[in-house]
Structure 1
Amino acid sequence: MPRSVALIRGVGGPTAMRMPALREVLASAGLGEVETLQVAGNLVLDPGRRSSAAVAKAVRAAVREGFGFDLPVIVRTHAELADAHARNPFADAAEGRWVQTVFLAEPVETAVPELPSGAPEEAVVDGREVFVRYPEGIGGSKVQAGYIEKRLGVVGTARNANTVAKLIAMSA
């Protein structure tokens, strides 16, 4: 049975969590067998009969109760994640870590977020995702997920193409 992927926004630094403890807290909250990828809030879990919104709410509540952090959570089913990856116009770029998908909490109507003047990045908005290509790397770019959130007025969290591909494989 395909699983769902929960993406916790803002994991790291002062909101860092140990992944074994996070898996335990989420399993205790009734989210079944939970797998993590990296230490950045990438979770693969069994949604049971819950909607994606209900899973996001349950993960957020469990993290808040277990760790004291109130962090946004965005959930995609395996099919939604695979569809987003297939729609990413930059997914086949040679450097997958320099291509990101910003997963949005809700769809937006615009096709392109406003980018800084002279920025080398390319970005395309497609429903609940923003696809961004960073030809000069991500580290020094002004076009991070927070920048996109402010321009579009919606919560989002970014994952690079390599991570998205791994999450698709894990959730199959």
Structure 2
Amino acid sequence: MRRILLLRAVNVGGANRLPMAWLKAALTDLGCTEVVTLLQSGNAVVSGVGPGIAGVLERRITADLGLNVSVLTRSHDELAGLVARNPWPDRVADPKSVHVDFLSAAPTKAKLATLDPAPFAPDECVVDGTEAFLWYANGSGRSKLTNDLLERRLGVVGTARNWNTVTKLLTLAGA
């Protein structure tokens, strides 16, 4: 089964520098097969392992690079289901305005109640299970509806990807 690995807050330079060549080699060393990375921001698609690879990779990153990086994972079917559940299929014509924040767990009802959408208008957020769908009317760069805010309000770890990246990862996972 193909698994999609999403690393939170990694960069090619500066803080939390994690080269994709290192990631690919580490994943191969950890028993992953058919390893493919996408972009330079911590996206990988692998075969041969289960969801437990996330914790194993987190520990490896800490041991080898001294970084505290959260790793979230989804199966091909989970990612396909997420794409099918997009609450704004008509908005993907502008795929950089539609994002998905992958969450480490589904937030509780009490935590969801803290997410009042009014202060973020015209931006929108729909939390559906372990994903938060985000629509940025004027782009994500100026929005107050950030991954950090979602993590604080929902009490979970999250990492966001734009719709282009989500669909590219699904294509890679289906290969």
Normalising by structure 2, we get a TM-score of 0.89
Offset, 1:118: 5.4
1:21-36 to 2 correspondences below 5 Å: 21-36=22-37
Partner residue, 1:19: 20
The unaligned stretches of length 5 or more in structure 2 are: none
Instruction: Tell me, in whole angstroms, the C-alpha distance in 2 between the residues paired with 1:118 and 1:147.
Output: 11
Q: RMSD of the alignment, in Å? A: 1.7
Partner residue, 1:58: 56
Instruction: Tell me, in whole angstroms, the C-alpha distance in 1 between the residues paired with 2:48 and 2:106.
Output: 22
Partner residue, 1:133: 135
**Helix, strand or coil at the partner of 2:119:** coil
Aligned AA (2:105): E
* Distance change in 2, residues 1:15/1:95 (3 Å): same
Cα pair 1:91 1:99 within 8 Å, conserved: no
Q: Does 1:105 align with 2:101?
A: no
* Distance change in 2, residues 1:5/1:118 (3 Å): closer
The unaligned stretches of length 5 or more in structure 1 are: none
Between the aligned residues of both structures, percent identity stands at: 38
Normalising by structure 1, we get a TM-score of 0.90
Larger displacement relative to structure 2 (136-145 or 63-72): 63-72
Larger displacement relative to structure 2 (130-139 or 59-68): 59-68
1:20-169 to 2 correspondences below 5 Å: 20-48=21-49, 50=50, 52=51, 54-93=52-91, 94-110=93-109, 113-115=115-117, 117=119, 119-169=121-171
Offset, 1:92: 3.5
